[in-house]
Amino acid sequence: MKVKNGYWAAGAALLLGGAVIAHAQAPERNVWTGVYRAEQAERGKIAYAENCAACHGDTLAGIDVAPALVGPTFLNNWNNTSAGDLFSRIQSTMPLNAPGSLGGRKVADIEAYMFEANGFPAGNLALPPNAALMPNVRIVAQKPEK
């Protein structure tokens, strides 16, 4: 029976290792390739109005000490980071009066709305409701040349 258990353990390790390698080799996408769906951004617009606009403004331009979520300053701050990094920041620190209270879907919807407001195109795939599912989605300020 020991030999059989050894084969099972080896097989499981091989499968797990293959899954990790496949995940690590996932193709990198960027915000210019359509990383959210239009209806997701529409839901995000509503969630933003309810949870974010009081501090960041109706137009995402920022108010007082709350930074802008649209435009050159935002893009410069987040350029070459992952959508997962932005998702984690939103989920763990916002809204200011109740950090961590927004669920994953709502955060993804708000992030999709922010992408739309920054002029990034919608696509066929929704932005996932979990930062771990988007490490290869890059925020790139300038549209890459083809």
pTM confidence score = 0.82
Amino acid found at 53: A
Q: What is the mean pLDDT of residues 50-62?
A: 97
Q: What does the pLDDT read at residue 26? A: 65
d(CA 99, CA 36): 24
The answer to whether the beta carbons of residues 41 and 113 sit under 8 Å apart is yes
Q: What does the pLDDT read at residue 127? A: 97
The answer to whether the beta carbons of residues 138 and 120 sit under 8 Å apart is no
- The token duo for 78 is 């987040």
DSSP state of 63: B
Tokens 């669920």 correspond to 103
Residue 90, C-beta contacts closer than 8 angstroms, at least 6 positions apart: 102, 107, 110, 111
pLDDT digits (tens, 9 = 90+) for 7-36: 544 444 444 444 444 445 567 899 999 999
- Comparison of pLDDT for 65 and 39, the residue scoring more: 39
pLDDT digits (tens, 9 = 90+) for 82-130: 999 999 999 999 999 999 999 999 999 999 999 999 999 999 999 999 9
Q: What does the pLDDT read at residue 20? A: 44
Task: For residue 4, name the pLDDT band (cuts at 50, 70, 90).
Answer: low
- The token duo for 49 is 């109005």
Q: What does the pLDDT read at residue 80? A: 96
Q: Give the per-residue SS3 of 32-55.
A: HHCCCCHHHHHHHHHHHHHHCHHH
Q: What does the pLDDT read at residue 36? A: 98
